[in-house]
Each structure stands twice: as C-alpha cells, then as structure tokens.
C-alpha cells in the first residue's frame, strides 16, 4: 500500500485512526509491503501482508472466490480478452464520467480488479475492497498504481469512517453475502452527502429459480472443497465442449449451454481458448459460492428508498438488477 493512503483507512471496530509501526514508518518509495497498522483509539492491530492491509482472516466463506480469481487473475481484463467488456459495463452501469480526477471512489467486492482498473484509469483515487484473498490478484494487476489502495475486509465491518467517499460501486457481490439487504445497507454510510452509488444484484424470479440448473446443483457443489470443485468443473467443460460448440450455433443456443452448466459468453464475441477460460471461470462461479441470494427489482428499489437515498433507479440490465442512486445533499 502507498502510505499516503493511510488516512483513508480507519479501525473497523471503533473508527479510530490507524497508525503504522515506527519500524516501517518510512518505507522505500512510500510503499508498505509488510507491517502492522494499529488503532490509536482501541489498540487493535491489523497486518499488512504482501502490500495489502488485512482486516479479516485470509480464509473465510469467500475463499472459493479467492481460488477463482487467483486462477483467473487476468481472464476478464479487457487487455487480456481483447474485448472492451469491463470498460463498457463499468461506464454503462454507472453512467459516470470518463474523467474523475480528484474524486475518491470505493469499490466493494472487487474480485480480480477488472473494474478497479477502469475506475483508476478515469483518474480517481480508488479504494478497492474484497473479503477474499482475491485481493492478491488485484494487487498484482493494480497495486502498483499510485491512485489505488486495495484492502481485504468485510462489507459488514468496513475500515472507513462514515461519509468518506464521493462515489461507490459494488458489482457482482451483494448476492454472495449472507444478507444482501444488510450488505446493501452498509454501503451508503461511507458516502459523502450528494455522493453517487451504483450497485447490482442477481435478478430473482420464480421462473429463473426453477429453470436455472445451477439452483438445483448448488446445494451439493457449494459444500465441496473449492480445489476439487474447480477440477471437476474443468473436466465437465472439457467433456461438454464439442457438444457446446454445436449447440451455440442454434438460435439462443448459448442459453441452452448455460442450462447444461457450461457458461457461454460467445454473444460477447469471444472465441477459442479465451471463450473456454471464461467458461471454466463462470461455471465455477455458478456452483461454488456459499451464498447466492438474488433479489427482485422491486425489492432492490425498496432497499434504496429505505436507506433514504435520492433518485433511486433500480432497473433490469444484462447482469441482473442495477441501482443508481445519490446520497441526500
Ligand atoms: C462474483 S465476484 C465479483 C467480482 C468483481 N466485482 C467482478 O464483477 O468481476 C464477488 C466478490 O464479492 C466478494 N465478497 C463476498 N462476500 C463479501 C463480503 N462480505 N465483503 C466483501 N466482499 C465480499 C467475493 O470475495 C468476490 O470476490
Ligand atoms: Zn479501534
């Protein structure tokens, strides 16, 4: 972490000021790789490991995501896939400007950091939080950027003071927490008055719950050891691949592949080995998460209104339900 970002952090237990060990108070280049942060108010200590402040244990219920984003640290980066999928989704979903210099943005549930890169390239200072050791993958890609701070922490106990950020985005995370409603309610607290929020959640409907094969299979797979499940997913995708290649030629064939538990991103224009990598990644992502708790558009809209947000707009989008809203001025 670049030490100049230390003042953004606060003790998650008491919001006290965090201080860096005297022994590493002046690390080379201002970058702290290993050390300890301690709370000036309550004395609680938090280690910095491999450049990332850690406010939670390395292993936890999200460790499957740690494995997923370690194996696929670059798979969904635009510079790797050759399609601008992350850039387009980031700016389309948020509606934010391409130049956000001078702003402080929080990303919650960052995974490999493909959206961290987009926000950082827009010139903002980006604080990127994830519960799993996926933060290591993000650090490898974005940690050297001077305008990025990556932390391993829990949305339910974030290491920031209230009203700290100009903007906040949270993509692909809420449904993977034990309580999406409570996780959502934690977000606006750290936004400044007038700050902008953009979050999404899988879309719930009775039909989808019945039709999506993953909801039938997950009760078994979500309990499996992530390494074993990943190996099984790879074997399944390899085995099904010739069939999937034929099926995707049919009208809406890619939808049939998803129901056969072969994630199919061919409509994005991906081909060959990269298409298969995305398939390993998202087939695992369908089956591994401990929690998968979608919400309807109406429920999501209600959460925004109950949080006293302004201009709450929850709408259907390709990745589920997206909400844009603002903190009251
Ligand atoms: C499907 S990934 C999405 C990653 C990234 N936003 C993307 O769309 O590529 C969901 C992420 O949410 C994180 N997550 C789950 N529970 C969390 C929690 N309680 N606090 C913070 N992050 C959490 C997981 O570790 C995982 O990396
Ligand atoms: Zn404290």
pLDDT in tens, the chain (329 residues): 999 999 999 999 999 999 998 666 678 778 999 999 999 999 999 999 999 999 999 999 999 999 999 999 999 999 999 999 999 999 999 999 999 999 999 999 999 999 999 999 999 999 999 999 999 999 999 999 999 999 999 999 999 999 999 999 999 999 999 999 999 999 999 999 999 999 999 999 887 777 789 889 999 999 999 999 999 999 999 999 999 999 999 999 999 999 999 999 999 999 999 999 999 999 999 999 999 999 999 999 999 999 999 999 999 998 899 999 999 99
If you take atom 3 of ligand 1, which residue's CA is the nearest one?
Answer: 172
Name the closest ligand to CA 45: 2
Q: How many domains does the chain have?
A: 3
- Beta strand pairing status for 191-201 and 165-170? parallel
Q: Which atom of ligand 1 is nearest to the CA of 172?
A: 3
Measure the CA–CA gap between 105 and 136, rounded to whole angstroms.
20
pTM exceeds 0.85: yes
In the chain, which ranges are E strands? 18-20, 35-39, 45-49, 52-53, 104-108, 125-130, 148-152, 165-170, 191-201, 310-317, 320-326
If you take atom 4 of ligand 1, which residue's CA is the nearest one?
Answer: 111
> Are 181 and 225 contained in the same domain?
no
> Are 187 and 138 contained in the same domain?
yes
Q: Which of 54, 72, 91 is the last residue of a domain?
A: 54
CATH of the domain at 135: 3.40.50.150
> Are 46 and 129 contained in the same domain?
no
Q: Which residues line ligand 1 (CB under 6 A)?
A: 62, 65, 76, 109-111, 114-115, 129-132, 134, 154-156, 171-173, 176-177, 285
Measure the CA–CA gap between 138 and 70, rounded to whole angstroms.
9
Boundaries of domain holding 33: 1-54
> Are 34 and 79 contained in the same domain?
no
* CA 18 to centroid of ligand 2, rounded, Å: 8
> Are 48 and 81 contained in the same domain?
no
Both tokens of 213, joined, read 């094969």
pLDDT in tens, 49-80: 999 999 999 999 999 999 999 999 999 999 99
> Are 183 and 66 contained in the same domain?
yes
Mean of the per-residue pLDDT values of the chain: 96
* CA 10 to centroid of ligand 2, rounded, Å: 8
> Are 73 and 158 contained in the same domain?
yes
> Are 128 and 212 contained in the same domain?
no
Q: Which atom of ligand 1 is nearest to the CA of 68?
A: 27
> Are 190 and 265 contained in the same domain?
no
* CA 230 to centroid of ligand 2, rounded, Å: 38
- With beta carbons less than 8 A apart as the criterion, state whether 138 and 114 touch: no
**DSSP state letter for 309:** -
> Are 45 and 168 contained in the same domain?
no
> Are 87 and 108 contained in the same domain?
yes
- With beta carbons less than 8 A apart as the criterion, state whether 46 and 36 touch: yes
> Are 95 and 236 contained in the same domain?
no
pLDDT in tens, 95-147: 999 999 999 999 999 999 999 999 999 999 999 999 999 999 999 999 999 99
Pure H helices in 174-271: 180-186, 206-211, 214-221, 226-247, 253-259
Name the closest ligand to CA 46: 2
């Amino acid at each position: 972490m670049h030490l100049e970002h230390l003042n953004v952090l606060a003790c998650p237990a008491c919001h006290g000021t965090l201080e860096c060990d005297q022994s590493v108070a002046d690390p080379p280049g201002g970058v702290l790789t290993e050390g300890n942060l301690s709370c000036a108010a309550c004395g609680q200590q938090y280690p910095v490991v491999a450049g990332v402040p850690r406010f939670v244990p390395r292993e936890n219920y999200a460790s499957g995501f740690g494995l997923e984003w370690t194996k696929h640290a670059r798979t969904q980066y635009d510079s790797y896939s050759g399609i601008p999928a992350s850039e387009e989704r980031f700016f389309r979903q948020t509606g934010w400007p391409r130049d956000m210099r001078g702003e402080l943005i929080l990303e919650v549930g960052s995974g490999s950091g493909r959206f961290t890169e987009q926000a950082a390239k827009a010139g903002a200072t980006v604080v990127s939080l994830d519960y799993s050791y996926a933060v290591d993958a993000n650090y490898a890609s974005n940690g050297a950027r001077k305008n990025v701070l990556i932390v391993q922490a829990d949305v339910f106990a974030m290491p920031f003071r209230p009203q700290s950020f100009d903007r906040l985005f949270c993509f692909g995370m809420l449904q993977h927490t034990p309580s999406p409603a409570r996780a959502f309610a934690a977000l606006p607290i750290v936004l400044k008055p007038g700050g902008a929020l953009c979050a999404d959640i899988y879309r719930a409907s009775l039909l989808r719950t019945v039709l999506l094969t993953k909801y039938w299979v997950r009760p078994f797979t979500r309990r499996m050891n992530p390494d074993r499940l990943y190996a099984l997913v790879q074997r399944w995708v390899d085995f099904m691949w010739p069939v999937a290649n034929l099926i995707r030629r049919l009208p809406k064939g890619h939808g049939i592949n998803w129901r056969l538990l072969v994630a199919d991103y061919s409509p994005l224009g991906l081909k060959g080995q990269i298409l298969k990598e995305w398939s390993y990644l998202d087939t695992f992502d369908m089956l591994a998460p401990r929690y998968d708790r979608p919400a309807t558009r109406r429920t999501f809209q209600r959460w925004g209104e109950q949080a006293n947000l302004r201009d709450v707009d929850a709408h259907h989008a390709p990745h589920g339900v997206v909400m844009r809203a603002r903190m009251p001025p």
